[in-house]
Chains A and B, each alone.
Chain A
Amino acid sequence: MKRKINGYLIAGLIITGIILIAIIVGMFWTPYSPTAMKYGRFQPPSSSHIFGTDNFGRDIFSRVLKGAGTTFSIALSTVVVGALAGTLIGAVTGYFGGLADDILMRLNDAVTAFPSFLLALLVVSLIGPGKKYSVVISLGLVFIPSFARVMRTQYASLRNQNYVTGARLMGVGNARLLFVHLLPNTLRVFLPAFTIGFNNAVLAEASMSFLGIGVTPPDASLGYMLSEAQGMLAAGPWYALFTGLTIVFLVFGVGLIGEGIQMQNREVD
């Protein structure tokens, strides 16, 4: 059966694809060295420096390429950490219910009750700020509860399906049942949740770096660059503009993918 793929999904994939290609290129090659300070301060965008230069005379386009890579990898690892742990918790609590369900979900509620950003700050300061992995761990931890809740609902609704009963009757083991039979059936909810989580992670990383507890120099992430750019809005507004736009496009593209998947699901229903 052929299904029409909707415009949101295509647009999202194209935008995200372009950014991904830029990121991959940026890993191996940038037009100028992203850290070299010799291109003249506050050069406005021109044909040689298409995003202009900053206060130290660094090429902003090169920095954005590198920074997008950092932001992307941090956001992706963060949401993977959250999704993995959340799925595990959600599967166990949703499918088996009982005491484990009660304990884990109350724990979940407790974590949710804290302002998530505050919790992330707390964790970062505990494991030591300034490293990439500390951002990933702290944000990942904050992301677990929402995934756990979403996946729990999915598993709880699936466990009474006839085919699950049938599989149990065949003697399918629990692990295989949960992750081979049921997991694919949760994807329609999992994938949109994953894209939303990714976007939240991009924004959360940006906010943390903006506050100076995320990535530290010489690494640059888009959030960190945005916080730098804030000090020179008057002298070089293009710095904030292009960095911000890159974040917007990244989030927009992935958001479109999530929206597209959801629409696709609705069409199937």
Chain B
Amino acid sequence: MLEIRDLHVRFHNRDREAVGGISLTIGNGEIVGLVGESGSGKTVTAMSIAGLLPRKQCSYSGDILLNGQDLLHAQRSELRKLHGREIGVVFQEPMSAMDPLMKVGEQVSEVLRIHTDLNASERRKKALKALTEVELQDPEAVYDSYPHELSGGMLQRAMIAAAIVIEPSLLLLDEPTTALDVTIQAQILELLKKLNREYEVSMLFISHNLKVVRKLCTRVAVMQRGLLVETGETDQVFYHPQHPYTRHLIEAIPTRERRTS
């Protein structure tokens, strides 16, 4: 599905490589957690996949293939067709991820306007279906609301609806639950699992919250200082961490029963 091969990224104004040669594969329907502390390169990795690298300000090499199509070196114009169609993105901060002056529903259906030939009423129907899919209470009302009228949890659901409305093959989730309180967090995780089952959409879940990663992901990749220090099945990594840094991270989880074994 998504294959990252030996990705290097270095910003011109830094000495150290932000990403120092990582390889990672995400299979169909897999949820891969990418964890690591701030500055470990997980966001840069996601940016490379999403085509958000400021290309003029960094040098990069390697390959990122989505279903065989090159993402890293492709022309911007080609990327524009591919992104949105194949990759949905959910950001950390739902409040800032929505245009404050556009109705939520219109933002959900915006991607359809660009990538499909559907007319306005068909787009509205699909958007409403997506809003229902993310378990929003009153999809019709949400469709016609502005972002400031919704709570953070509702907005994040709407963002997820916007990301899945076109049924992409990959979802990039950049700390989508960090800004939410714990109850809502759990609900969103359940929702993501459900979507993963129903749409068979693969997900790359970026987080520094190991608890969340353990609940959701099938595989985990741990990054430190631009390198992938450990990859494996979630249970494998959590119960038998190989790398000292991973062990360190897991020990830092504030739980009653520490699973460091």
Interface residues of A (CB under 8 A from B): 1, 161-163, 165-173, 181, 184-185, 187
Beta-carbon nearest neighbor of A182 in chain B: B99
Ordered by A's residue number, 6 sampled pairs between the chains whose C-beta atoms are within 8 Å are A167-B99, A169-B50, A170-B83, A170-B111, A173-B80, A187-B101
Determine chain A's interface SS by DSSP, over half rule: helix
On whether the beta carbons of B83 and A163 are closer than 8 Å, the reply is: no
Beta-carbon nearest neighbor of B52 in chain A: A165
User: Which residues of the other chain, B, contact A162 by a CB distance below 8 angstroms?
Assistant: 91, 93, 96-97
B58 at the interface (CB under 8 A from A): no
B124 at the interface (CB under 8 A from A): no
User: Which residues of the other chain, A, contact B114 by a CB distance below 8 angstroms?
Assistant: 170-173
User: Which residues of the other chain, B, contact A181 by a CB distance below 8 angstroms?
Assistant: 99, 102
User: Which residues of the other chain, B, contact A1 by a CB distance below 8 angstroms?
Assistant: 148-149
Interface residues of B (CB under 8 A from A): 50-52, 80-85, 87, 89, 91, 93, 96-102, 107, 110-111, 114-115, 148-149, 162
On whether the beta carbons of B91 and A166 are closer than 8 Å, the reply is: yes
A167 CA to B51 CA in the complex, in Å?
Answer: 13
On whether the beta carbons of B83 and A169 are closer than 8 Å, the reply is: yes
On whether the beta carbons of B96 and A163 are closer than 8 Å, the reply is: yes
A184 CA to B82 CA in the complex, in Å?
Answer: 27
A166 CA to B91 CA in the complex, in Å?
Answer: 8
On whether the beta carbons of B99 and A163 are closer than 8 Å, the reply is: yes
On whether the beta carbons of A170 and B110 are closer than 8 Å, the reply is: yes
The smallest beta-carbon distance between A268 and chain B, in angstroms, is 9
User: Which residues of the other chain, B, contact A172 by a CB distance below 8 angstroms?
Assistant: 110, 114
User: Which residues of the other chain, A, contact B102 by a CB distance below 8 angstroms?
Assistant: 181, 184
The smallest beta-carbon distance between A63 and chain B, in angstroms, is 43
A24 CA to B87 CA in the complex, in Å?
Answer: 55
User: Which residues of the other chain, A, contact B149 by a CB distance below 8 angstroms?
Assistant: 1
Give the 5 A-B residue pairs with the shortest CB-CB distance, closest first: A171-B84, A170-B84, A162-B97, A171-B80, A184-B101
On whether the beta carbons of B110 and A185 are closer than 8 Å, the reply is: no
The smallest beta-carbon distance between A33 and chain B, in angstroms, is 49
A254 CA to B95 CA in the complex, in Å?
Answer: 34
A153 CA to B107 CA in the complex, in Å?
Answer: 25
Beta-carbon nearest neighbor of A164 in chain B: B99
User: Which residues of the other chain, B, contact A184 by a CB distance below 8 angstroms?
Assistant: 101-102
A184 CA to B146 CA in the complex, in Å?
Answer: 13
The smallest beta-carbon distance between B175 and chain A, in angstroms, is 12
User: Which residues of the other chain, A, contact B111 by a CB distance below 8 angstroms?
Assistant: 170-171
Contacts A161-B96, A163-B96: A169 and B89 contacting too (C-beta < 8 A)? Answer: yes
The smallest beta-carbon distance between B25 and chain A, in angstroms, is 22
A157 CA to B92 CA in the complex, in Å?
Answer: 19
User: Which residues of the other chain, A, contact B83 by a CB distance below 8 angstroms?
Assistant: 169-171
User: Which residues of the other chain, A, contact B84 by a CB distance below 8 angstroms?
Assistant: 169-171
A59 CA to B87 CA in the complex, in Å?
Answer: 71
Beta-carbon nearest neighbor of A168 in chain B: B52
Between B81, B99, B162, the greatest number of chain A beta carbons within 10 A of the residue's beta carbon is seen for B99
Other A-B pairs beyond A170-B83, A172-B114, 13, CB < 8 Å: A1-B148, A1-B149, A162-B97, A163-B98, A167-B99, A168-B52, A169-B84, A169-B87, A171-B84, A171-B111, A171-B114, A173-B80, A184-B101
